[in-house]
Every structure is written in C-alpha cells, then in structure tokens.
Amino acid sequence: MARAIVLVLDSFGIGHAPDADKFGDIGANTFAHLAEKHYQITGKKINLPHLTSMGLAEASFAAGNTTFPIEPYAVTKGAYGYAAELSSGKDTPSGHWEMTGVPVLFDWGYFTDKENAFPKTLMATINQKTGYAGMLGNCHASGTEIIARLGKEHIKTGLPICYTSADSVFQVAAHEEHFGLDNLYAYCEMVRTLLDDYNIGRVIARPFVGNSAEDFIRTGNRRDYSVLPPSPTVLDKMVNADGHVISVGKIADIFAHQGISEKTKATGIDALVDATISHIQSARTNSIIFTNLVNFDQDYGHRRDPLGYAQALEAFDKRLPDIIDAMTDDDILYMTADHGCDPTWQGSDHTREFVPMIAYHHNIGDVNLGQRNSFADLGQTLAEMFSLEALDYGQSFYQQLSKNE
C-alpha cells in the first residue's frame, strides 16, 4: 500500500493568479523575482537541479508567462503543473484547507485599520478575561519589526505585544523568559475563544528571546490556534478510513489538530526535512506525511529577503535526494505551496499567485499537468490514491502519475 509525502513550500508562488487584480497583486511572482535578484546580486543563476528536473522551471515559466535566470536542466522524472486558488483569501489556512479539498468560499474577518487595529470593546474584553491591564502594539506590523520596537517595553511592563496583518489573524508576541511560554499559550487560548464573532482565522503565539532590539529573535515555539475547516478534509477521510496522517511542523495547528494521527514539531528547514525523512523511514503503509516548510515564508518572504529566499531554495534542493532515497517504490512525493509572498513586492504580506503542483515517484516519466483550477486537485488526487470517498472540489491527476519512463 502506498504512502504520500506532501511538502508545502510555504509562500512559494510562481506568478500572479488570474484574480490577482482583486488583491493588488498583478505582477507579483515570488520565484521569478527572487531568481532575478539572486542573479543581480551574485551574478549566478539560481541552481535547483532536482526541482528543475522534476519540471518546476517549466511549470513556473508557464504560470508566470515569462522566463528568468535559472540553471537549465532537462525534465526527466516528474509531473508538473501550476494551480490557482479558489478560496476568497490568500492566507495560510485557506491555502492548506483548499489543498486538502475544502476551499474557503466565505469571507474571513479582518482587522483592517493599520493603527488602533483592534476594536476597543474587544481589547477591554481580552484584558478583563486574561487579567492583564492592557496590551502593546494594537497595529499592523511585521513580527520581527514589532519585537525590535516594543520588546524592551514589553519586558518592562509585562504587557503582551498584540498585532495583526492583512491576513485574518491576531498575533501575540511575548518573551519566553520574562512573560513565560505557558502564559503566552494560555493568553492566546483565551483570545481564541473571544474571536468567533469576528470570524478571525487564527491566533498565533509568537515567542521570542534576547535582551535588546539588536538580539531579540523569535523561537521555534510558535503555536497557531485555528478554527476548524468548514467541512471534512481528505485528512479527516483518511483517518476515518483507518489511515494514518502525520503532521510535521505547523500542519496540525492549521487544521486545529483534526484529521491528524501523529505530530512532530521542528525548527528550521533542515530540521523539518530531517523529521520528514525519519517518518518516511518508519511510517506504516496507508499514510500521509504532511510537512509545512514555514521558513520560506516567515524568514524570507515576509522579511522581504529575496537573496536569502533563493539560497534557502538551493539548500532545500540539495536535500531532495535524501527524501527521494528514503522513499519506497510505492511512495509518491507531492510538492506545492499555500500562497505567494513575493519578497520584492510592496509591504510584507502574502501575494495572490499560482503555486507549483509537482509530483514524483521512482518510476514516473515527464508528465505535464498544465494549469489546475484549484489547489483542491491535490486533495482529490490523494483521495483517489487512497481509495477514499471523493471530495466536493478538485480534479484528480492521479491517473496521470502512472506514466512510466
């Protein structure tokens, strides 16, 4: 019986989506722009031999209707295409839920004011329920910028740093030692119970350490508190059919721990890849190993660091043979993304883009999957792969993966 390994290259968009005009993202292209910046700064083309030989460049050129500097390699083994998003937003839960067969067709609630972002009544209720006299921040901000700006005041006053973004999110930054991890988690859990009427998708605990703005740094103890998907995902169907779903990284948090059999936390791309390989080596048949590589998004996309993003991609590409070597003949590797986050775009928010849809197994040939009309095509493919009940959205490409060399 087969196993599926799903790797989400968090924020790895490959060209603005057909509806990007609604989001102000016409012209965004995470992959093309980071590759161009890499070439401008280093004089070298980005080098991704394994991803390129699986068809990533071909899919990206088609999605963005452009070319960009990348070392050329012939497509030898891989199925490759590019997918548009049906969901109404360009946020993490929407992208992940859709790729498991449940697009978000309703509108999330947002805190749209850049300053004084949270309603006074909500702030008063949070303060009363949590026992804190107030909060710092109350604005739109980048996570690294706001701890540099308010970290010292946070330590002095003991008040949590609360902020938001263009996503449907309420984020809380707090110092692990001075505020305490358990206190941060308890605070976020309480806030989560108070946001249902606002239809906010996630509360995120953002712990950090350090002594000053120069060395404040976020840790790997982040925790996301999400609402449940509006209907059963392919993960739910897998678990209900006695299959096994393994979460690596923040996947379990994104699905509010529903449809998850086992979970592993790790910090950094290498550690996440190592954890994924460990599960490939030990997971039973009829399993989905589902990994989110969050660092592409939080360390490079949101921080608008195209060179760092490109170098992280090259480092990840070098790890792909380790993943492939751990796979059996029945395993299938899928790689995709949940949205874009163009590091050259204005602001620091996600971008509405096509995402890659790549699949690999040891006996596959060169398979062009073309344009996919929903991330849910991945969920439908997984449903067919494991003989599960079909999902309401998505078109399976499972039969196309049987093409041999």
Write down the pLDDT at residue 64. 96
Domain boundaries of the chain, sorted by first residue = 3-105+230-402, 120-226
Question: Could you read off the pLDDT of 299-337 as tens digits, one per residue?
Answer: 999 999 999 999 999 999 999 999 999 999 999 999 999
Arithmetic mean of pLDDT, 210-237 = 95
Q: What rounded mean pLDDT belongs to the chain?
A: 96
pLDDT grade for 1, boundaries at 50, 70 and 90: low
Tell me what pLDDT residue 403 has: 56
Specify the pLDDT at position 405.
43
- pLDDT band, residue 82 (cuts 50/70/90): very high
**Sign (positive/negative) of CA torsion 143, 147, 148, 149?**
positive
How many angstroms separate the CA atoms of 50 and 103, rounded? 30
Position 392 scores a pLDDT of 97
- The CATH H-level (homologous superfamily) assignment of domain 3-105+230-402 is Alkaline Phosphatase, subunit A (3.40.720.10)
Give me the percent of the chain exceeding a pLDDT of 70.
99
The 3-state secondary structure of the chain reads CCEEEEEECCCCCCCECCCHHHHCCCCCCHHHHHHHHHHHHHCCCECCHHHHHCCHHHHHHHHHCCCCCECCCCCCCEEEEEECCCCCCCCHHHHHHHHCCCCCCCCCCCCCCCECCCCHHHHHHHHHHHCCCCCEEEEECCHHHHHHHHHHHHHHHCCCEEEECCCCEEEEEEEHHHHHHHHHHHHHHHHHHCCHHHCCCEEEEEEEECCCCCCCEECCCCEEEECCCCCCCHHHHHHHCCCEEEEECCHHHHCCCCCCCEEECCCCHHHHHHHHHHHHHHCCCCEEEEEECCHHHHHHHCCCCHHHHHHHHHHHHHHHHHHHHHCCCCCEEEEECCCECCCCCCCCCCECECEEEEEECCCECEEEEEEECCCHHHHHHHHHHCCCCCCCCCCCCHHHHHCEC
Q: What is the pLDDT of residues 126-139, one digit of tens each?
A: 999 999 999 999 99
pLDDT digits (tens, 9 = 90+) for 137-188: 999 998 999 999 999 999 999 999 999 998 899 999 999 999 999 999 999 9
Can you give the pLDDT at residue 347? Answer: 86
Give the class (CATH, top level) of 120-226: alpha beta
